[in-house]
Amino acid sequence: MKPGMVPPPPGEESQTVILPPGWQSYLSPQGRRYYVNTTTNETTWERPSSSPGIPASPGSHRSSLPPAVNGYHASGTPAHPPETAHMSVRKSTGDSQNLGSSSPSKKQSKENTITINCVTFPHPDTMPEQQLLKPTEWSYCDYFWADKKDPQGNGTVAGFELLLQKQLKGKQMQKEMSEFIRERIKIEEDYAKNLAKLSQNSLASQEEGSLGEAWAQVKKSLADEAEVHLKFSAKLHSEVEKPLMNFRENFKKDMKKCDHHIADLRKQLASRYASVEKARKALTERQRDLEMKTQQLEIKLSNKTEEDIKKARRKSTQAGDDLMRCVDLYNQAQSKWFEEMVTTTLELERLEVERVEMIRQHLCQYTQLRHETDMFNQSTVEPVDQLLRKVDPAKDRELWVREHKTGSIRPVDMEI
């Protein structure tokens, strides 16, 4: 294996075995290994055997994936080795200018192939359907690889940036929910204070009899209700508002972990791709220069010596090596970016599920506390109901007369 070459994907045979003379192994941008005969320019997925007539690997291979640019398939899904044949598939389209693809084959017609640096790839229009990492779920890890066009035509937004915006929006919503609960707590506290103050009001405090007892209980129920609402506000703070705020702080820390170097990896991937294209152009120029000098020497139209030809050949060879090195670096950058994208999108998905479930639980706690408060309020009114049912105007009149009577009226005969 060449220094700096990307290690083989899981499940492939070890590449440490020496290849037959003239063969080199490389990785496609999707991370799948193929083999090139530098003498005949033959390409194959099968590992060439050093023993004639004996294949080194099975003849059947799974379908390749669409070409990728900067780590993206044109269909908007991740570039990754087709190692999970059980997954569901979807159709993809592509761009014929994309860097590399997956399936070099000499049997394909010219109309269905693209040749890049002596390596033949299938045309994007002939690509098979794209596989999903999680076919049974609407998972983040399958649907945020491509850029999304701005509806107003002001450019594009990276898929990963959309995920970050979703998380930031969730964090903002959580903050606003906490503020809502805080306002609710303030209302409860003010309400409790006003009820307590009203219960101490002296209006109609001179009412007597059974009605007076009921009226006194009405005022006392206000004080009891004030205490209930004060306890409700305290529980809202400790069991709903505070946990929401604490979770938001932890959520911010988790977000920082996810927002680490995905953007830098994407920039690096774009830079690696640009380097590949630059190296490809340089190789084309060197090859053209070598061919021109060789032709001039053959027809003796130039004084170029054999040494000049050798020098041009060395430059062409060096340009080819530079291209291979750039492709290797691109493959490594894409592999790293892909791994980080999958890991990070799954983590963002986990955080979102955790956030929604946490808020749901605490809103359920809010409604439970609210039901309990209603029950306690009802209990403060029950004594009032009992006394009101016992109010008896006749009895009240009797009690008042007994206490305040001045004497009975007795008729007296008048004398003339």
Q: Residues 351-380: pLDDT tens digits? A: 889 899 999 999 999 999 999 999 999 999
The 10s digit of each residue's pLDDT in 288-314 is 888 887 777 776 655 656 778 888 888
Domain count of the fold of the chain: 1
Is 313 a member of any domain? yes
Nearest CA among 66, 19, 68 for reference residue 46: 19
87 pLDDT exceeds 60? no
pLDDT of residue 121: 55
Is 85 among the domain residues? no
Residue 72 lies in a domain: no
Whether residue 271 lies inside any domain: the answer is yes
* Domain annotation covers residue 317: yes
- The whole-number average pLDDT for the span 387-410 is 90
- pLDDT band with cut points at 50, 70 and 90 for residue 107: very low
Instruction: For residues 124-131, give the mean pLDDT.
Output: 61
Under the banding of pLDDT at 50, 70 and 90, the label for residue 128 is low
Better-scored residue on pLDDT, 17 or 67: 17
Tokens standing for residue 211: 């009605």
- Asked if pLDDT for residue 178 goes beyond 50, the answer is yes
C-alpha dihedral over 161, 166, 167, 168, to 10 degrees? 80
pLDDT higher than threshold 60 for residue 60 = no
Each residue of 134-162: pLDDT tens digit?
888 899 988 888 888 877 767 788 888 88
pLDDT of 186 over the 60 cut: yes
| Percentage above 70 pLDDT, the chain | 70
Examine residue 297 and state whether it is found in any structural domain, yes or no: yes
Residue 53 confidence (pLDDT): 40
Average pLDDT for 35-60: 61
Q: Is 383 exposed, middle or buried (0-12, 13-18, 19+ CB in 10 A)?
A: middle
Question: Is residue 75 in some structural domain?
Answer: no
Q: How far is CA 331 from the centre of its chain?
A: 24
Nearest to 273 by CA among 5, 72, 76, 31: 72
Q: Are 349 and 302 in contact (CB under 8 A)?
A: no
Q: Average model confidence (pLDDT) for the chain? A: 75
Q: Helices 306-389 and 159-199 meet at what angle, rounded to 10?
A: 20
Report yes or no on whether pTM surpasses 0.75: no
Any domain includes 206: yes
**What is the domain extent for residue 288?**
162-396
Which domain CATH number covers 344? 1.20.1270.60
- Give the pLDDT score at 165: 87
Contact indicator for 239, 365 with CB cutoff of 8 Å: yes
Picking from 261, 270, 269, the residue whose alpha carbon sits closest to that of residue 340 is: 261
- Predicted confidence at residue 129, as pLDDT, reads 56
In this prediction, residue 386 carries a pLDDT of 93
Q: Which helix (H) or strand (E) holds 131?
A: strand 130-131
